[in-house]
Structures are given as structure tokens and as C-alpha cells.
Chain A
Amino acid sequence: MPRRTLGVIVNPVAGMGGRVGLKGSDGVEILRRARELGARPEAPGRMAQALKAVSQFQDQARILTYPGQMGEKSCTLAGLPATVIGRTEGEETAPEDTRRAARQMAAAGADLILFAGGDGTARDLYHAVGEEVPVLGVPAGVKIHSAVYAVTPRSAGELVALWLQRHLLRMRSSEVMDIDEEAFRAGVVRAKLYGYLQVPEENRFVQNVKAGGVVHEAEALQGICAEVLRAMEDPDCIFAVGPGTTTRGILQALELENTLLGVDVVRNRKLLANDVTARQLLDLIGGNRAKVVVTAIGGQGHILGRGNQQISPEIIRQVGRENLLIVATKEKLVSLGGRPLLVDTGDAALDQELSGYTRIITGYGDYVIYKVGY
């Protein structure tokens, strides 16, 4: 059996801001302050934790990593022999190092890249390899809004171990999100959806001895799309489809241009506009009947206010709560561990109106009643 090639990348500065209360570590100045406040790199240790679960299958893997804190050290800590490629420049690692490492590993034939970091690191991976090479995040950053991370370092390692044992893993597109750190430090959350990465499904809700569990992600998404398309049979109704992995299949199914990261508008199965702003959307809707399709974006379960701010409070009030179609896979809902879906429209009164038990589309003719909170 040919061995699989695993890339290992650590963003050593990820998470350094968190322990000293800095809400993120992006930017040289912030890092300097973090170090002054006594922060120490934690990501290498977290990656080592993940790799320990991998080490017993090391004969089935070829490991590629970057020097020192960027991966080599974690491999050593986990007792995992690795081929060190590339070089780092200077004392501090920079986003460019992560991107270069990912590109080189992809070029060297990595089948999967395991990386430790936060939302900034996920963005770097996205820039470097997009959806070409599957990746899996070991959570180490301050901000974990992206949906590309395993729950714990150990569960990331266990998933990689299964993959090395040729367990059939399913890949899914997952959102890369980040918030504007400067605004965040000033107390304002401004989240943006940057793109998608391919991530193996972590079936943590099912037994290992059974091969699958919750219905195949792709099938669940197809079912959700089919259900929304059924609603779209109404020719006069305008549909604004928000971003996210669960919604993006809808435009694909209609064979319409899809902006992936923005809000697209459809009527009678025809595209009205791509990537609209809140203003444009409001104009398009005018006095027409309209429905807005949103999904839980990122790791926290936000359906409004993270990555889809174009769907403004005015628009929601205009179309009415009953015309907000919320779609999500059941697994996504279960993964929230009982926490509600969240709305953060910036309009506290609206947030309150939107909260309560509501119907979520989870498949074709398949719904879950779930709590929305704020």
C-alpha cells in the first residue's frame, strides 16, 4: 500500500494573544506586545498532542514539515520522524511563511495538511491551497470562527490516524472566517467569510465500528437544496441566498453563477444579481414577496451577523421572520452541543424578535425545531 503524505504546519504565534487578553495575535506590533506581556508559543505543543495519536501509524505516513517551531519541534516532541523542507526567514514567523509552507507541501505531494493555528492561519491555508488539498486544523488560535478545526488536538490526531489506516473519510467544504481584529479589540465584531477549505468529516457522533453515522454530508446538502428549490417553484417570489457551505449548493443546483462569499438573488430560477450589498438587496426586493435563505456560518452557529451582514435588519423586517429560511445539516445542529443558533444583526430589538424556537430545514421534507438566541 503506498504511504500517504502528511504535511504538518504550525503557526507558532497563534494563540499568543489570548492568554494575555489581546483577542488575536495578527500583526507584528500585537505580537511584540504579547511577548512583552509574557505570552509563550503554545501552538507547537498543541500540534505535538495531535501528532501523538498519529505516531503509532508512522510507518504508513511520509511526514513533511517546516523547520523549528513551524512543525519540526512538534514532530520531535511526538516522536514522529519527519522530512523538514523549506526555511523560515528571521526571528518571527509571518503569514507568508505559513502560505509558502502550504504551497511547498502541496507541490511535494501532500495528501493532507495538518495545521495548528487560528482563523488567521486558516486564511493563510486558504490563500495557499484553496480547496485543492484537504486540510485539518488543530485549534490553537484565539479566534476560532472558521469551521475547519477539530474539536480538540487529540481528536484531530485521531482523525488523521484513521485516515492513515485508509479509513474512508469524507471531505466537506468548510468555511474560513475571520474577524477584523482591530475592530474586535475595539469591541466590534465584524466577521467576514473568506472562502472554503476541504476538511475531512469528523464523525464524532458515531461509533467507530459502524462505518458511517449521520447521513452522508453530501446527501444531506443535496436534500436541503432540493427542499429550498421546491420553495423556489413560486415564480413571483424573490430569493436572497446568503453565503455558507450549506447554501452554496443551491445556486449550483440551479446552474447559476455563484459568488460563494456574497448574497445572490434569484427569482423564478433566474439570477437577478450576484454579491449584492444591503442597499442593492433592499432595492431589488422593493415591494415584492421575498424569502431570505441563511445558514449557520462558521464554528459558532451564527445565522445572521457573521459573514452575511449584507442581510441587514431592514431587509429582515421587510420580508418578515416567517420568510427567513434557515438551513443547516443535522450534524451541524448536534455539534452545537445544545447551544442555540445565534443572531447578531446589530439591532437588539430585532435579535430578540428573531429568537425562540424555529424551524430549520435539515433535508428534503425534513426539519428540526431549534432554538435561536442572541
Chain B
Amino acid sequence: MGRDRETLLRKYHQARWDEEIICEMDVPGERGILVPEAEAGIQEAVGDGTSRIPENLRRKQPPALPEINQMRVNRHYMRLSQETLGTDVNIDISQGTCTMKYSPKIQEHVATRNPGMAEIHPLQDESTIQGILHVYYQFEQFLKEISGLDRFSFQPGGGAQGVFTNASMVRAYHASRGDHQRDEVITTMFSHPCDAATGATAGYKVVTLMPDDTGYPHVDAMKAAVSERTAGIFITNPEDTGLYNPQIKEFVDIAHGVGALCSYDQANANGLLGIARAKEAGFDLCHFNVHKTFSMPHACMGPAIGAVGVVDELKRYLPLPRVEFDGERYTLDYRGEPESIGRVRSFLGNAQGVLKAYAWVMQLGADGLREVAECSVLNNNYMLKKLSEVPGVVIQYSEEKRRLEQVRYSWGKLNRDTGVGTDDINRRIADYGIQHYWPSHHPWIVPEPFTLEPCESYSKDDIDEYVAVLRQISKEAYENPELVKSAPHNSAIHKVPAPSIDEPERIAVTWRQYVKKQAAKNSG
């Protein structure tokens, strides 16, 4: 047996390389890489190539990119990677709602190293990409079984784009019926912001249901929200609190009662695999975050996939192309029906992610997926119990109820007792080698929130160790609040003072903008 995880506190210090910004590393004349030149025969035949470009469209000054030797570039980015706390190097229970699970290396290796994946072009003849089309088709069959819905598309490049795709399909559905009076969509405050924002982007007014003291909206609120103007509802369940709304079917029925469609945001599906499906709850559309639930890595925010699923009746609205199979050959149907929303992303989406997710499901099968769900829910309830014993932690809403895969906790009590808030603790947690936790989407309805999701990848020891860190920080907050407030101390950098980087004269999102503003400041 190793060290006792319940009391273990690592003597951690992150790499602190104090790296320059890459634009500061310029050494005129250095080269990072040499590029192929056209052969002499080509040069003789066509000359310098640029003379055919009209004068006013030729670049006069080369771009002011830095000149850096290759080793230094590599070293720089290696150092930046060491100053990044990916799931590979920490117990990433922190980023609740994000399902930071282990992305098995075998999938990564095959997807990035096999030229049958890395070096195939999406416009190759269908006969030459039967392998990847098989993967698309098979993974679609998996998601059909997992959700109960009838058709899927993997074109959307992320979860939010998936929800936007669903909003677009809802719009196309009503338009094809000549029903233009429906101009509202309904969501809940504890659904992801994209459930509200993508509807608005599609042109809808947005009606938001607030939670009551159970943590989810009351059925009467839903009744008050719907009308003949309701086009659809975009809702997650369990909501970000980890509480499952047991009246979800009623919500769906109420929406259907006024002719609206129901779209299920399944970003929080990890605890439901093989347990409960979109179909039985009556949903018409759904989406899964393949990079959350199905182990595609998060990659510093993408590439990702929002897999969208629909019932048969809505199949014709799906983006194109669709992968079809006639029993022998896979084909890409670029024509579809005229009601299709067209496209949301170029080509076939992030094909490499479909391959990874396919591989993941193939390793687990039905029993394994159910084991994923069960262990993620078990882990979460275990952690909930442990954390409820940490001084200052409050379990908001329905304390007696079981949560599914995540919990939105509150440091409200600790904050009242000590003045230390969730932001402070969130900086301090990095001092123990743990990624900053996800407080909450905005607005903060749960005071001083933090949202944790100990998915199936984490062992009991991992959870114990994580809880030990929070227990320690709680103790610090009560005994030495300044230590927590001035954190981080062991991170790549120190605390950024309450940043007022929103003022126009200070906004600097590129190096050149920063340099210009510094010059203006120094001269003014």
C-alpha cells in the first residue's frame, strides 16, 4: 500500500519557465525550417512565380513574424505544454460538466499515426474511403442504440455547434410546414448557455425557466412558458446541478401539446449510458458531446464533435452529406432532400474524432458502457458524501436526493465565515497540482459555486486525494485566509490582479496590439 490518499498532499510545483512571448524571441536571420524550392526545370519554365501577381496584390513587406531556430521553437512550446495541466497529468475531476475522462492512448496513436486516417482527403472517391465511412456508419448505429433516436450526423465541430444544428433543424421543420409564427424557444437556467444562445443565433426569442427550490424548474413554469409561438425546447437533464428532473417526460409532453419540438442537450449523458435514453423521454432531437462522453480528448478546446440525432420524421433536415450503406458499399449522399439545412461545417466534420469514439465503444460494448455510467454515478455520490463533510461546503438544492454524474457545490458558507470565495479556492487548488475547477456557467445562481465531475476514469484513491486537497484548503481559509486569497503560489505564474483588461486602451489580444498600446502609454 502506498500513502494514505485521504491525507495525502503532494509537494507539487508546476514548471515555471518564465517564457518570453514568442514574438520577443526574434533573432534576425535564424530559421526554424527550410521549405522545398521548385526544381530548376520549373524555375526555368515559369520564372519567379510572383511576377504574374498584380503589383497591388503582392506582399511588399514580409510578415513581421519572428525568426527563431527550430530547437528554440520546439523548446518554447514544450515549456508551454509543461505549463499546462491536461488530464494526462492531473486528477481532472475539476472541470465539471466537461467529463474529463481518460482518452485511451491506443486511439490517439492510431488516429494520428495511421496514414489511413491522417492522410486521407475528404473528397476522395467513396470507393477509396470505405474504411472511414464504415466507422461513421457503425458509430451512428451505436448512437442510435444508445439514444433510441433514428439518424445521426457527426458534422458539427463541437457541442454548441451541435445544438445550433438542432436549432437550425427545428427552424427548418416549422418552415417546411409553412409555420412561421413560432418564434420562441424554451430552455432552463441550468442548461448550458448554448441551449439559449444557439436558439437566439437561429433567430428565436428565448424563454428561460428558473429552477425552484428543488433545483429544476416546476412543471407549472413550463406550462406558463409554452404557447402556439413555441418552436422548440432545448434542455439538459440531468441539469448542471447533477439533479435529474423526474418530470422531464411531462415537460416534453407539454411542448408536444403545443406543436413544439424537443431537443435534448446530452452533454451530461455520462451517467446515463445504457440506463435512460432520449427516446423514452420523448425527445425529437438530441446531441452528444463526443469529446466528453465518448472519450475524444478535449484538446485545449477542440477539435471536437457534437453528434446530433433525430427521429425519423426529422431525418430530411439533417446536414449533408449523409453516410449511407446499401449492405455492400458505403456512400455519401450529398443531395439529400431539399429540406436539409445544408451544412454547418465543411467536409465530414472531425473524422478522426469519430474514429476515436468508435474505438472506445468497441472496447467497452454494452456492458462496458453501462459500467461507465454506473461508476461515474457511484464516484459522484461517493465524492458528494466525502465533500459534504468538508467545512464550508454547502450542497445546494434537494440535499436528500441522489445526484447523477456531477454536483454543483457551493462555498457560500465558507465565504460568509472567512471571506474566502470560490475564485480564491480555485486559484489555490492549482498549488496542489490539480486543475482549476469549473465554478458554474453564468449567471451564478448557486452562490460561490464549484462543479465537480468525478467520471469513471477516476479511482477511489483519486477521489480521496482530491477531497483531501479541498479539505486542506478549507482549513487554510479558516486559519489563514490570506494564503488562499493570494494564491497561486506553486503555479506557472502568480496571481493576476483583478484584471481591468477590458478598457479599450488596455485590450491586447495580440502582441502587436500590446506593443502599440505600450508605446502609446509611454508617449502619452
Contact = CB atoms under 8 A, between A and B. Distances in A.
A324 to B, nearest CB: 14
B439 interface: yes
A369 B209 contact: yes
A190 interface: no
A367 B205 contact: yes
Interface residues of A, number: 37
A368 B500 contact: no
Contacts of B500: 165-168, 211
Interface string A348-374: 000000001111001001111111000
Nearest to A214: B443
A159 to B, nearest CB: 11
Interface string B478-517: 0000000000000000001111111100000000000000
A367 B503 contact: no
A369 B217 contact: yes
A320 to B, nearest CB: 16
Given A162-B498, A207-B423, A368 B443 contact: no
A27 interface: no
A84 interface: no
A208 B224 contact: no
A107 interface: no
A152 B415 CA distance: 11
B443 A331 contact: yes
A359 B183 CA distance: 16
Given A162-B498, A359-B225, A365 B445 contact: no
A365 B423 CA distance: 33
Interface in B200-219: 200, 204-213, 217-218
B386 interface: no
Interface in B222-244: 222-225
B498 A357 contact: no
B224 A357 contact: yes
In the complex, which of the residues A330, A357, A366, A369 has the most CB atoms of chain B within 10 Å of its own CB atom?
Answer: A369
B225 to A, nearest CB: 5
Contacts of B210: 333, 368-371
Nearest to A367: B207
Contact of B502 (A211, A357, A371): A211
B221 A357 contact: yes
A307 to B, nearest CB: 24
Interface string B65-85: 000000000000000000000
A272 interface: no
Nearest to A157: B419
B224 A368 contact: no
A59 to B, nearest CB: 14
Q: Which one of B210, B439, B500 has the highest number of Cβ atoms from chain A below 10 Å of its Cβ?
A: B210
B220 A213 contact: no
B444 interface: yes
B206 A214 contact: no
A367 B208 contact: yes
Interface in A134-148: none
Contacts of A358: 224
Contacts of A165: 497-498, 500
Contacts of A162: 498
A152 B204 CA distance: 39
Nearest to B205: A365
A209 interface: yes
Given A211-B499, A211-B501, A366-B205, A205 B442 contact: yes
A347 B441 CA distance: 40
A207 B443 CA distance: 10
Interface string A312-332: 000000000000000000110
A251 B422 CA distance: 41
Contacts of A204: 444, 447
Contacts of B439: 207
Interface in B398-438: 416, 419, 421-423, 426
A254 interface: no
B224 A209 contact: no
Contacts of A367: 184, 205-208
A158 B184 CA distance: 40
A206 interface: yes
A40 B92 CA distance: 52
Given A167-B500, A207-B423, A371-B221, A334 B443 contact: yes
Contacts of B209: 368-369
A209 B423 contact: yes
A212 B503 CA distance: 12
A205 B444 contact: yes
A304 B218 CA distance: 24
User: Which of A166, A209, A330, A362 is most buried by chain B, counting CB atoms within 10 A of its CB?
Assistant: A209
A338 interface: yes
A368 B498 contact: no
Nearest to B501: A211
B443 A330 contact: yes
A358 B220 CA distance: 9
A73 interface: no
A291 interface: no
Given A168-B502, A211-B501, A206 B444 contact: yes
Given A168-B502, A208-B498, A366 B419 contact: no
Contacts of A368: 189, 207-210
A98 B422 CA distance: 37
Nearest to B499: A211
B265 to A, nearest CB: 18
Contacts of A46: none
Contacts of A356: 220, 224
A154 interface: yes
Nearest to A210: B442
Contact of B224 (A154, A158, A359): A359
Contact of B443 (A152, A158, A205, A357): A205
B206 A365 contact: yes
A287 B14 CA distance: 74
Contacts of B206: 365-367
A367 B419 CA distance: 34
A170 to B, nearest CB: 10
Given A214-B443, A338-B211, A368-B208, 6 more contacts: A205-B443, A207-B426, A213-B442, A214-B442, A366-B200, A369-B207
Interface of B: 183-184, 189, 200, 204-213, 217-218, 220-225, 416, 419, 421-423, 426, 439, 442-445, 447, 496-503
22 contacts: A158-B419, A165-B498, A165-B500, A167-B500, A168-B502, A206-B442, A207-B439, A209-B499, A212-B502, A213-B443, A214-B443, A337-B447, A338-B211, A338-B212, A338-B213, A356-B224, A358-B224, A362-B208, A365-B206, A368-B208, A371-B218, A371-B221
Q: Considering the complex of A and B, which 5 residue pairs feature the smallest CB-CB distances, nearest first?
A: A365-B205, A205-B444, A357-B224, A211-B502, A357-B221
